[in-house]
Amino acid sequence: MNNNKQYHIVSRNNYFLGKLMTARDFFAEQEYFNSRRRLISKFMFGAGIIAGMSIFLVDDKSFSLEPGLAIDYYGREIIVDQTCVRKLNLIKGFEDIKNKSEIYICIKYKEFLDESTFSVTSAGNAENDKQFNRIKESFELFLTDKAPQKFDLKLDGLLFQKVKIYNNNKIKIWAEMPKYANLGKNTKIKIFFEKTDPVENIAFNLKISGVLFENCASVSFDDSKNPEEKFFSQECYMLCNANNAAISELVIAKSDFNLRIGTKNIELEDDIRSTINIREENIKNIIISDYFALNFDKLIEDNDEKFIYLAKAKVVSDGVNYIIEKFEPNPAKQFLLNNEILRLMEELNESIIDCELANSNSKSNKIINQENKSDKLSNKNIEKLIEKDNVITGVETINLGFKPKPGKVYYSYEFVHGLGKGNIAVITATVNDENPEFEEKNLLVFGDRSIFDVDEANLSVPDVQIASIVDPNKGTMRIGVRLEERTNVQSIKIRWWAIKPIESETARDNLVIDENLKIIVSPDSITIKPLEQIRFSAKIIGTEDQRVSWSLGKNNPGKIDSNGLYTAPATEGIFEIIAQAVNFEDLHASAYIVVTTEFLQNNK
């Protein structure tokens, strides 16, 4: 079985009256039309999932793959015609990679012979003349520890080049450097960090410079605030100030790169250089020209190692047993959008533009109308209008560490804001805690602190710039601060408000989408050492309202903050923490922590 990989079939059957048709002719007929269809599918649509193929965990050892359709990198259709539930250890490749912490579930096209029969021209040797009546087009699931590389799976290599900065098998730092830049426009650079195994505290900072570029781009990372963070990426921009088309370089000099692993400082062996082509022509047109200049044979070959990645799983195994600890569907985002989806996206873009224009044109009219109506609004009406906004607030403590440096960026953990999925507005302020000894006031500082006289206002909180990132798909947010001055404080408190408009009381009731509400706490059990910190997260199934309050179980001497950060006590024992839904009195769930020093000894 060759699984139909051929493309260069340039002849087809010629029929005439009296032609003797043999198996060769019928095979040629199938191969011709298969190759033409698949060639067109590959180059017109690309490879990826077209519809369905949802994948999710059934339990901590099994997953379910739903029916769906995909096209592989040879243009062949992969059809899953019915739901299939599989145990991970029964999938091809499990024994080879079962000790890997992260594995990938992939799918590929597979043909096999079906419906056994015998040839009517049999010479009497039944075993040798056994034939099959059908070729069944199916699929095969398999496991790999090879992470998807979008430079191999997609055409990103036309626009970017992947540049290795540092790699020691456990830690990878690399960059997506642009191949092209336009005169007078910003150029985007993306820096990535990934660690595959738990290591000591990691921190790095780097600066990217370039001839014919106006500014330098800086990136910094420190996992001391979130040691479990295994992946980090940050975008930065540089303005091209060239007057004419030219060839230049983006450079990370040895002196501009600092990496610390634990207490060990690591330097680059040489400068990192990446060539960039500065052009007047629109980059989109350049990419199109580059694509059509690619070698055709290279595009249709070398596809044996390109697969459709269905899921990424984190597996914990002792060599005999295993559990799936984390599960991420579609890690490579290999989706093919059909014309209907593209049409809807275009309509959505047009709708957004129309709304912005309408808002802009009617802004002055709205202001006048609101002024005319303001006298008619009673206090009662105003209160009702305010109630239609879903508002929640909290305080996030960001650790600055010992001897914080001006200009350095510090981040909070990612936390659930409690207003569910969707877009929200965020307001932030630094908290100046009250301190009677130094006559300091309990104040909130919004915006630029330097506008006020620090001594007169009795402010001790350092001057910082604040930014926040909201993930509308997860209902989470993260806060970052840039320190603007020297300070001796080792942490700073940020008061935040999240605001999500709700159109009516009916919409508020519709937050409940499933009567079978339940809370899932992650992790639900864990073993840690005394005084160690671990962050818990809670997801409420059946409602968009994800707000929970955290509390300690009976006889738990540890501490837990409003965002689920638990600090173990100095004493050993088994302790309970409780997640309680804010809007549902009877909805709560528990997790258990085993605090022991044996955990340390066993891992030495």
Q: For residue 239, is it within any domain?
A: yes
Please report which residue ranges of 214-282 form alpha helices under DSSP H.
Answer: none
Tens-digit pLDDT profile for residues 498-508: 888 764 444 44
Looking at the structure, tell me whether residues 190 and 83 fall in a common domain: no
**Which range is least confidently modeled, 104-108, 151-155, 359-363?**
359-363
Question: What is the pLDDT confidence band of residue 576, given thresholds at 50, 70 and 90?
Answer: very high
- Could you tell me the pLDDT band of residue 139, with boundaries at 50, 70 and 90? very high
pLDDT in tens, 24-79: 889 888 888 888 888 888 888 888 999 999 999 888 888 999 999 999 988 899 99
How distant, in Å, are the alpha carbons of 314, 536, 594 from that of 525? 17, 10, 8
pLDDT at 457 (0 to 100): 64
- Kindly report the pTM of this predicted structure: 0.52
Range of the domain at 344: 339-376
Query: Per-residue DSSP letters for 312-364?
Result: EEEEEE-SS-EEEEEEEE-TT--B---HHHHHHHHHHHHHHHHHHHHHHHHHH
Mean residue pLDDT across the chain: 81
Q: Measuring CA to CA, which residue among 535, 534, 561 is closest to residue 550?
A: 561
Do 282 and 169 lie in a common domain?
yes
CATH at 90 = 2.60.520
Express each pLDDT in 273-324 by its tens digit: 999 999 988 888 888 888 888 877 777 776 777 889 999 988 887 777 888 8
Band (236; pLDDT cuts 50, 70, 90): confident
Q: In the structure encoding, which two tokens stand for residue 565, read together?
A: 């950060």
CA distances, 21 to each of 17, 32, 330 (Å): 11, 16, 46
- Domain assignment present for 533: yes
Which band of pLDDT confidence, cut at 50, 70 and 90, is reported for residue 363? very low
Which pLDDT value is given to residue 140? 92
Q: Are residues 208 and 141 in the same domain?
A: no
Instruction: Answer yes or no: is 15 within a domain.
Output: no
Q: Which of 222-236, 376-390, 558-572 has the highest mean pLDDT?
A: 558-572
| Angle, vertex CA 116, rays to CA 112 and CA 121, nearest 5 | 120
**pLDDT number for residue 604:** 46
Q: Are 484 and 408 in contact, with CB atoms under 8 Å apart?
A: no
Distance of CA 307 to the CA centre of its chain: 20
Query: How far is it, in rounded angstroms, from Cα 602 to Cα 480?
Result: 37
- Which DSSP letter does residue 524 get? S
Q: pLDDT: is 300 or 359 the higher one?
A: 300
For 549-561, how does the pLDDT look when each residue is reduced to its tens digit (9 = 90+)? Answer: 899 998 889 999 8
Which amino acid belongs to residue 180? Y
**Residue-wise pLDDT tens digits, 453-495:** 766 666 778 889 999 999 888 888 899 999 888 888 888 889 9
| One domain, residues 158 and 257 | yes
Q: Is residue 353 part of a domain?
A: yes
Please tell me whether residues 191 and 250 are part of one structural domain: yes
The residue length of the chain stands at 604
Question: What backbone phi and psi angles, to 5 degrees, belong to 149?
Answer: -115, 115
284 and 314, same domain (yes or no)? no
**Rounded Cα distance, 460 and 448, in Å:** 14
Residue 155 shares a structural domain with residue 289: yes
In whole angstroms, give the CA distance from residue 112 to residue 4: 12
Please give the tally of structural domains in the chain. 5
What is the domain-level CATH number for residue 272?
A: 2.60.40.10
In a domain, 3, yes or no: no
Residue 263 within a domain: yes
Determine how many CB atoms are found less than 10 A away from the CB of residue 269. Answer: 7
Asked whether residue 7 is assigned to any structural domain, the reply reads no
561, with CB counted inside 10 A (0-12, 13-18, 19+), is: middle
Does pLDDT of 347 surpass 60? yes
Same domain, 158 and 282: yes
Q: What CA–CA distance (Å, rounded) separates 39 from 45? A: 10
**Average of per-residue pLDDT across 204-212:** 89
What mean pLDDT do residues 96-101 have? 80
The more confidently predicted of residues 262 and 576 is 576
Closest CA to 165 of 201, 189, 192: 192
Looking at residue 434, its amino acid is E
Indicate whether 8 belongs to any domain: no
Residues 412 and 286 in one domain: no
Q: Are residues 270 and 233 in the same domain?
A: yes
320 and 220 within one domain: no
